[in-house]
Amino acid sequence: MTDVAVVGVGMIPFGKHPQKTLVDMGSEAAYLAIKDAGLSPRQMEIGFFANAFAGRVFGDFTIGQNVFWKIGINRIPVVNVENACTSGSSAFFLAYNAVAAGQVEIAIAVGAEKMRVPEMGLLNSGQNEVDTQLGLVAPASFAMRAMRYIYEYDAKPEQLAQVSVKNRRHSSLNNLSGFRDLVSIEDVLAAPMIVDPLTRLMCCPNADGAAAVVLVSPAIARRLGRSVGVNTALLFSGSYENPQDQICWETDYRACRTAYERAGIGPEDLDVVECHDAFTICEILHYEAMGLCPIGEGAQFAADGETEIGGRIPVNTSGGLIGRGHPPGATGIAQVCEIVTQLRQEAGQRQVNGAKTGLAHCMGGDKEGDTKSCTIAIFSV
Amino acid sequence: MTDVAVVGVGMIPFGKHPQKTLVDMGSEAAYLAIKDAGLSPRQMEIGFFANAFAGRVFGDFTIGQNVFWKIGINRIPVVNVENACTSGSSAFFLAYNAVAAGQVEIAIAVGAEKMRVPEMGLLNSGQNEVDTQLGLVAPASFAMRAMRYIYEYDAKPEQLAQVSVKNRRHSSLNNLSGFRDLVSIEDVLAAPMIVDPLTRLMCCPNADGAAAVVLVSPAIARRLGRSVGVNTALLFSGSYENPQDQICWETDYRACRTAYERAGIGPEDLDVVECHDAFTICEILHYEAMGLCPIGEGAQFAADGETEIGGRIPVNTSGGLIGRGHPPGATGIAQVCEIVTQLRQEAGQRQVNGAKTGLAHCMGGDKEGDTKSCTIAIFSV
């Protein structure tokens, strides 16, 4: 396995894009990433396209080929990838592997999703699973975790709300984010209850969006400059590893542990983190899995402002899923875009000063007791 | 890149499985392949699951995780892959790459599809594409190619029909095939016309089905025995490379040429071939792209019986898509199962005597003038 670097990132603003197709959105992000890299479309050697719901919503398929065609990328291997909320980060994982294994020198991963369409419906972790059929859609499943967390550690809804307040504040500094209005703890608690204790402002909003990254071998990276190294990228699937414990995704812990081992660093070495705040409780549980704070102290850690820009370890400086909005095909790649932007010191008003090491963490397909998919990538300059 | 071997294959009979879910079908095939390999589920290190239409038909996603969970495969990377009719072979390509690159020693690729459901509707090459919206569904697009071929080379509908006659004959010898009745040239020509000149018996039937293969490194293969080497596996996407020529998929030619180069062999070295006979005209055009016969002579090559079992180069000994039925998630993997079975000399009544080298060819997402995806794998013992 050789080193891999990210040399180009591209995103369209997340939010509503009623006039744009998935192909429009994906190809625009791809073009921006290639341009940012100083490369040309014809230099791409393999392409991965991530999308989770276009089959369900539009009845569509083989969209990646169309995305790449639209900007003149052809004659290369193209694979369409789906992995629920980790669809984008799974595409990134495959692109990383293709370069790390020496199969290609230049790979592109693109993710796009149109969520702001009436056909979208309620998210779940698989339409045909028994728990879904019994009503356990995503907010209900995460609310159970939040309730258990509150019971176990005497956490307060105000502490959960603080995650939304922080991520919206970060989001207000990011013109690629879809939800940029500041909110207060009172606003978050007074928002309509979705599933107790999660109010609407504790849930990430659906958004249309697209993001892309270009990954290259060290030789190409040296030529291009402005590159950010990928120390490791991994993908694990869980499977009822720990079905009795609602506040510990075993897969999450195992993935974090493995990622640190492979990268040869620990949580104390991180300067900036993007993580999967699909609901405020997720971000808190992920703090603990990532080792940013001790188990049971995540809610207080958020409330103390430790994860704000300027705090001990800024989390979701982009605004996260709660601030940016969550198009699952694109989210995992957008996280990479944010970490790379931070490590290049190009994040403007939301820059974490001198950030040198960052981590992008994503999770997909919550199931009773565990997650279907967890991806982690660690970056450094 | 290291060598890769297939050590296990598994399939459920293609056809109608109204009582089985996708997860039932996929996990059954996966279990059969692992058992065939003499391995256990917990030894799998990475899993790829292929499906093309479950999003569209069932609104479902992250199915691969459930397929693997059901037989006790967990804690490994799992990626869901879609690439139209090459979905299965794309999953095979990724599994091959994971082993070839030394990332893992054991990989599994599983494909499953439920097509015999009322929601399936007409196939096309992407619901949201202009040509589809104008009515160019798959049979129409391939009929245009057949018409042009007939015009250009003075081919006869009887010659096209011969492909169906042959593939149904092969199918009658394969108890995993879904469509096993013998048909005559007269039957094929008298069947209801779908799009002139393609009658219903010249089109592959929809089927439910699942197939799986286990791929391993040389070290593991030596220990297990009964392995079949993978000389190369590749995936190319096209893109209007040659949009004016209805009887030459440029991508198909380029993929075949590249595969032979990488494997260091030529078409004359092949003993058995599985190819993508979605419509009879496809098989004929693929003969020419694969170099089995000169360009323009494919129809006569079929009519002369050269591609029957016992002929110069048997093609689609399994029955192909026309005889076996076509569940796109599974088809590309089922092709690999057939080649491996032939090279192990375990194909029973349809055995090609002494077969030592075989090729599996698949194509997906026909577009005006080219294909979206073409996969080829070459095997030898």
B370 — pLDDT class (breaks 50, 70, 90): confident
| Interval A273-287: pLDDT, tens | 999 999 999 999 999
Q: Residue B157's pLDDT band (boundaries 50, 70, 90)?
A: very high
- Residue A62 CB-half CA count within 13 A: 30
**Token pair of A193, please?**
């209850």
Mean of pLDDT values over A20-42: 97
Mean pLDDT on B117-135? 71
Selecting from B75, B81, B234 the residue whose C-beta is nearest the C-beta of A239 gives B75
Is pLDDT above 60 for B345? yes
φ, ψ of residue B169 to 5 degrees: the values are -65, -45
Is pLDDT of B35 > 80?
yes
Q: Are A290 and A256 contacting, i.e. CB atoms less than 8 angstroms apart?
A: yes
What dihedral do alpha carbons B189, B193, B198, B204 form, nearest 10°? -90
Distance of CA A233 to the CA centre of its chain: 13
CA-to-CA distance for A65 and A76, rounded, in angstroms? 10
Closest residue of A to B70, CA-based? A239
Last residue of a domain, one of A193, A226, A259: A226
User: Does A243 score more than 80 pLDDT?
Assistant: no
List phi, psi (to 5°) of B19: -85, -10
Is it the case that residue B141 has pLDDT exceeding 90? no
pLDDT tens digits for range B213-244: 999 999 999 999 889 999 999 998 876 566 67
Q: What is the structure's pLDDT at A132?
A: 72
CA angle A78/A112/A378 to nearest 5° reads 80
**Confidence (pLDDT) at B37:** 97
More confident residue, A123 or A230: A230
How does DSSP assign A279-305, residue by residue? BHHHHHHHHHHTTSS-TT-HHHHHHTT
The torsion of the CA quartet A190, A194, A198, A201, rounded to 10 degrees, works out to -60
Residue matched to tokens 């299965």? B88
Mean pLDDT for B308-328 is: 98
Greatest alpha-carbon pair distance for chain B in Å reads 57
HSE of B44 in the Cβ direction (CA atoms, 13 Å)?
Answer: 33
Is the pLDDT at B58 greater than 90? The verdict is: no
What whole-number distance in Å separates Cα of residue B291 and Cα of residue B72? Answer: 43
Tell me the chain B residues in contact with residue A97 when contact means C-beta distances shorter than 8 Å: 97-98, 101, 103
Question: Residue B131, exposed/middle/buried by CB under 10 A (0-12, 13-18, 19+)?
Answer: middle
Place of tokens 């999003």: B55
**Parent domain of B311:** 123-202+233-380
* Average pLDDT, integer, range B293-322: 98
3-state secondary structure B3-39: CEEEEEEEECCCECCCCCCHHHHHHHHHHHHHHHHCC
Q: Is residue B131 over pLDDT 80? A: no
Segment B80-103 shows an average pLDDT of 95
Collect all residues with Cβ–Cβ distance below 8 Å to B159 and sequence separation of at least 6. B284, B299, B300, B302, B303
My answer on whether B247 and B114 are in the same domain is no
Whether residues B27 and B60 fall in one domain = yes
Kindly identify which residue of chain A lies nearest to residue B78, measuring between CA atoms.
Answer: A237
Residues of A in contact with B66 (CB under 8 A): 126, 129
How confident is the model at residue B126, as a pLDDT?
Answer: 62
What pLDDT, on a 0 to 100 scale, did the predictor assign at position A242?
A: 64
Residue B246: per-residue pLDDT: 83
pLDDT score, position B137: 80
Residue positions of B annotated with a catalytic role = 85
Q: For residue B109, report the phi and psi dihedrals to the nearest 5 degrees.
A: -120, 130
What average pLDDT does this structure show over B154-168? 98
Do B47 and B85 sit in the same domain of this protein? yes
Chain mean pLDDT for chain A: 93
- CATH value at residue A15: 3.40.47.10
A242 class by beta-carbon count within 10 Å (0-12 exposed, 13-18 middle, 19+ buried):
middle
Residue of B nearest to A375 (CA): B77
The predicted structure's pLDDT at residue A378: 97
In terms of DSSP H, where are the helices of A38-156?
54-58, 63-70, 87-100, 130-133, 138-153
Of these residues, A85, A203, A248, A282, which one is catalytic? A85
Do A306 and A162 share a structural domain?
yes
A134 and A65 assigned to the same domain? no
Residue B210's alpha-carbon distances to A26, A36, A50, A264, B27, in angstroms, are 31, 42, 23, 41, 9
Q: How confident is the model at residue B143 (pLDDT cuts 50, 70, 90)?
A: very high
**Residue A182, Cα to own-chain centre: how many angstroms?**
21
Among the listed residues A191, A181, A10, A199, the one whose alpha carbon sits nearest the alpha carbon of residue A110: A10
Q: Are residues B129 and B192 in the same domain?
A: yes
Q: How far apart are CA A177 and CA A139, in angstroms?
A: 22
Specify whether the CB–CB gap between B87 and B329 falls below 8 A. Answer: yes
First vs last Cα of chain A: how many Å apart? Answer: 19
Contact B55 A82 (CB under 8 A): yes
- B-chain CB neighbours of A238 within 8 Å are 74-75
Chain B residues inside the 8 Å CB shell of A47: 237
Tokens found for residue A157: 């809804």
Whether pLDDT at B127 is above 80 = no
SS3 content of chain B, % helix, strand, coil (to 5): 40, 20, 35
Residues B364 and B265 in one domain: yes
- In this predicted structure, what is the pLDDT of residue B101? 87
Q: What percent of chain B has pLDDT over 90?
A: 82
Same domain, B242 and B367: yes
pLDDT per position as a tens digit, A53-67: 999 888 888 999 999
Please indicate whether, in this complex, the C-beta atoms of B65 and A365 are within 8 angstroms of each other: yes
Digit-coded pLDDT (tens) for A311-339: 999 999 999 999 999 999 999 999 999 99
CB contact under 8 A, B54 and A52: no
Give the mean pLDDT of A135-149. 89
Mean pLDDT of B137-150: 91
The pLDDT value recorded for residue B292 is 98
A259 lies in the same domain as A111: no
Mean pLDDT score of chain B = 93
Residue B186 token pair: 């007269």
- The 3-state DSSP class for residue A277 equals coil
Residue A212 pLDDT greater than 90, yes or no = yes
Where does a domain end: A226, A259, A287? A226
| DSSP annotation of B85 | B
Predicted pLDDT of residue A164: 98
Judged by CB atoms closer than 8 Å, whether chains meet at B65 and A372 is answered as yes
Same domain, B58 and B152: no
Name chain A contacts of B120, Cβ cutoff 8 Å: none
Helices (H) then strands (E): counts for chain A: 14, 11
Predicted structure pTM score? 0.95
Segment B70-87 mean pLDDT: 94
CA end-to-end span of chain B: 19
| Cross-chain residue pair A62–B125, CB shorter than 8 Å | yes
Beta bridge partners of B360: B274, B377
Instruction: Supply the DSSP string of B312-351, one letter for each residue.
Output: SS-B-TT-HHHHH-B-HHHHHHHHHHHHHHHHTT--GGG-
Residue closest to A359 by CA, chosen among A275, A303, A277: A275
Considering its fold, how many domains does chain A have in total?
Answer: 2
Which of B45, B82, B376 to probe by mutation at the A interface, max A CB count within 10 Å? Answer: B82
Q: Domain check: are A132 and A84 in the same one?
A: no
- Regarding whether B140 and B59 lie in a shared domain, the answer is no
Q: Give the residue-averaged pLDDT of A11-18.
A: 97
Neighbour-count burial for B233-261, b at 16+ CB within 10 Å, e otherwise: bbbbbbbebeeeebbbbbbbbbbbeebbe
Share of chain A above pLDDT 90, in %: 82
